[in-house]
Amino acid sequence: MTTKKLFTLMTWALALFFSNVQATVWRINNNAGVNANFSDPSTAINSSLVHNGDTLYIEGSATNYGTITLNKRLVIIGTGYFLSGSNNNSGLQANPNNSVLSDINLDSLGTGSVIEGLQFNNIYNTYGSQLADSMVITRCYFSSIGTYYAASGTVANKWKVNKCYIGSNVDMGGVTTVNWDFRNNIVGGQINLTASLDTANVIRNNVFRSTINIYNGYVANNMIVYYANVTLTNSVVKNNIASGQPSGFSVYQGTNGNSWNYTEAQIFKGLSGNSYDVQWQLATGSPAIAAGLTVGSVVTPDCGAFGGPDPYVLSGIPPIPTIYSLTVPASIPSGTPSMNITFSSQNNN
């Protein structure tokens, strides 16, 4: 079977899912011999054929797709991350390559865009510009969110960042953040939402492994690793669980469901024998089990990224059908009228 036919088959489930969607879906694939709509997302975004509301499906590849400037309102979907190799989650995609970008440069014209299932380095604003509003960044693996000489008075309004594996920092650098929904993420570096006009930001059900600086936020059901430094100003702080005794957390310890001084082994499964994200699932008997803030006097969720009504999804697999197993003949004799292909697919809602 040719590479072209193989990749066409592997997007069959995606085509079914989007068959009733009026906005156009565009295939992006930079593998040689694949007949996709575009070979790179930057060309697609700049094309006059691609309009606000369209979807770009960036297929897995061993070659980085480069940097994009998001100046249209688009839905951009990748294949997830941690798909193969040691400490990863194998068997989730038949094509084990991630959809990898370098950076995502935000323009205010990209307001309302959705970025899902991608791996990339950084997401930041165009030099000297206002940031896009109503951004959704979900099920992604990336290094950082930041600002790059944003225009004076810049406000980032109604961002939803959830179910992401963030290797480094979320640092808005004094940019005002309003109505952020930051939930069910695993954050390796600092989070810095500290502008004096920050308002109504919800920081809930995350795992934080470094510095936490929040002004005027609602901070609940998070897991805080012992070497974090915690500064929560003018914030509601409830039902957070910490390993060790993180600096700055002592004022909350023992009040409003906040507790500390557990070992990481008591709380988390750990990396031994597990993937990079599975390690942050709760261990058997973890003190974080059913330790979250009760919702509607009915449901008491777990703390951490895997708790709550919309938990972290392993490897950021997007909520569309995927083919996770595929068997095709190594070769087909000339003139053969048919061939046997075996594949397995699943819905990932």
Question: What pLDDT digit, counting tens, does each position of 215-229 carry?
Answer: 999 999 999 998 899
What whole-number percentage of the chain has pLDDT above 70? 86
Could you tell me if 192 and 215 are in contact, meaning their C-beta atoms sit under 8 angstroms apart?
A: no
Quick check: is 343 in a domain?
A: no
| CA 103 – CA 144 distance, rounded (Å) | 10
| Domain limit, last residue, from 146, 172, 200 | 146
Residues 169 and 305 in one domain: yes
Q: Is residue 30 part of a domain?
A: yes
Q: Is residue 324 part of a domain?
A: no
**DSSP element (H, E) containing 14:** helix 12-17
Examine residue 337 and state whether it is found in any structural domain, yes or no. no
- Domain for residue 90, yes or no? yes
* Reported confidence tier of residue 71, pLDDT bands at 50, 70, 90: very high
Q: Supply the pLDDT for residue 328.
A: 59
- Among residues 81, 84, 149, the alpha carbon closest in space to that of 119 is found at 81
Q: 175 with 310, same domain?
A: yes
Count structural domains, the chain: 2
- 189 and 55 in a single domain? The answer is no
Quote the domain boundaries for residue 97.
1-146
- Can you say how many angstroms the Cα of residue 105 is from the centroid of all Cα atoms in its chain? 17
**Which of 173-182, 229-238, 325-334 has the highest mean predicted lDDT (pLDDT)?**
229-238
Q: Are residues 250 and 179 in the same domain?
A: yes
* Selection from 9-13, 241-245, 296-300, 324-328 with the highest mean pLDDT: 241-245
The last residue of one of the domains, among 146, 176, 209, is 146
Average pLDDT in the chain? 88
Note whether 232 and 253 are within 8 A (CB).
no
Q: Can you tell me the distance from the alpha carbon of 147 to that of 149, in angstroms, rounded to the nearest whole number?
A: 6
Same domain, 123 and 254: no
The pTM is what?
A: 0.88
Q: Are residues 131 and 163 in the same domain?
A: no
The mean pLDDT of 96-105, rounded to a whole number, is: 94
- Pure H helices in 231-317: 264-267
